[in-house]
Structure 1
Amino acid sequence: MSPSVAGLVIIGLMLSCGVYLVLERSLTRMLLGVLLISNAVNLLILVVAGPSGNPPVRGRTVLGRDITADPLAQAMVLTAIVITMGIAAFVLALAYRSYQLTTEEEIERDPEDVRVAQQSGDENTDVRTPRPPQDPDAPADLDELPESETEK
């Protein structure tokens, strides 16, 4: 049995809407985006798992079906639901704390991120000290063997 095209289109729409919401600067929209992505992936796992069948218990049959259901997909979805619940609780706590501190739900641009984004890509603006050029044929410090006292 092949998955229905309508179901796959709905999953694709849910994923694209979730990605769009995650890229917003509002914490509530980010949370809704994560939940949409999680639900879309859960539906995708169930669609890909195949058709429903008999319970995965030896000797049990339901409605005369010939195949046995795959319990791995159901276990993966159940685990994903629990993980999503934990992430949702964490993001809700972040949103609440952010609202307490700033009384705004929008995330502002960090000045340090803006400064890094404005830097040009050339090496002259690098704040680190430049390394001297190394000979590619010379062994690295870690590759050299320690000298024994008999060789000295």
Structure 2
Amino acid sequence: MYYSRIRTRYVFDDSFVYKIMASTVAVPVAPTVSDPERCEGEEELRGIEAEVENDQHTGPVAAPPQNRLAKLPLSRIKALMKADPDVSLASQESVFIIAKATELFVEMIAKDALVYAQQGKRKTLQRKDLDNAIETIDEFAFLEGTLDA
């Protein structure tokens, strides 16, 4: 009941796809003339980034880049997708989009559960925080009962 309502609301909502794409693609923005502080801050940031890049390459062996676009292992996500009998082929783009959507979902539920942990004056998330977030937030209604042992 809840799943179908949420599914039609979020799966076919283009803004969610645009949010995923915006979080993965860096779009250059031209600085405005009316905001000189922003321009100065961007120049400082570029200078710091250049220094960091130079420092990384001066060592005996350059370390691999740590800023991956997807934090979850794509090969495991592809294996999970292929375990579904309805999925015959999974392109790299679809695997990447599923990985980013999963990351955003986990981030969203963790932030909502963090609110309950902070209300309890704790810094560590507990299962009861996730349960509270699932019970009180309508977007997570489809998860009710899934964490029960």
TM range (shorter): under 0.3
TM-score, length of structure 2 as denominator length = 0.26
- Determine which structure has the larger helix proportion and give its number: 2
